[in-house]
Amino acid sequence: MDYEINDETLAVIPTDEGKCEAIELHGNIPIKDTSLTVIEHSCEYFGINYKTRLNSTYKFIKARYKAPVVVEESSRLIFFPISSPRNKDTVWMSYNNILAYEKSEEKNETIVKFNNGYSMKVPVSYYTFNSQYSKAARLHASYSVRNGKKR
């Protein structure tokens, strides 16, 4: 794989069967792997495998189902799935780049606005998106508190 998640990655979305696209601040990058594969590869690229990241998430916030992960620790780069990561059609969102989100007129859609002004609709209810975002916020806060204690 030739793509790693970075601080400009807004989301990783599925496209065709077994493929996805990274939505970045300055454009989209097609990838010939699933969104979960991108997350797993990026975790390993930054030094710790995906399963270990999931175990850390559980240790910090007791979340197992649709758990967010810290992809890169020094910048606290956190991504969260909007549905089960085992689902090949799941979208992974960058907690760090989300400015706001709101209900869509469609029942099972949420409009997500990013720091750069870009917005997109994601195929999940506002309630579910809010729950996933809240888990990521708790994980971010947990890392922040732990890093503050070390200094």
Phi, psi of 81 (to 5 degrees): -85, 150
Please tell me the pTM assigned to this model.
0.93
DSSP states along 112-137: EEETTS-EEEESS-HHHHHHHHHHHH
The closest of 86, 70, 98 to 5, measured between CA atoms, is: 70
Q: How far apart are CA 65 and CA 107, in angstroms?
A: 23
Write down the pLDDT at residue 1.
72
Confidence class for position 148, pLDDT limits 50, 70, 90: low
State the pairing for strand pair 119-122/27-31. Answer: unpaired
Tens digits of residue pLDDT in 19-38: 999 999 999 999 999 999 99
Tens digits of residue pLDDT in 48-89: 999 999 999 999 999 989 999 999 988 889 999 999 998 888
Q: How far apart are CA 36 and CA 94, in angstroms?
A: 14
8 A C-beta contact, residue 5 and residue 22:
yes
The closest of 87, 88, 89, 69 to 79, measured between CA atoms, is: 69
Q: Taking the CA atoms of the chain, what radius of gyration do you get in angstroms?
A: 15
pLDDT at 150 exceeding the cut of 60 = no
8 A C-beta contact, residue 12 and residue 20:
yes
Q: How far apart are CA 150 and CA 84, in angstroms?
A: 34
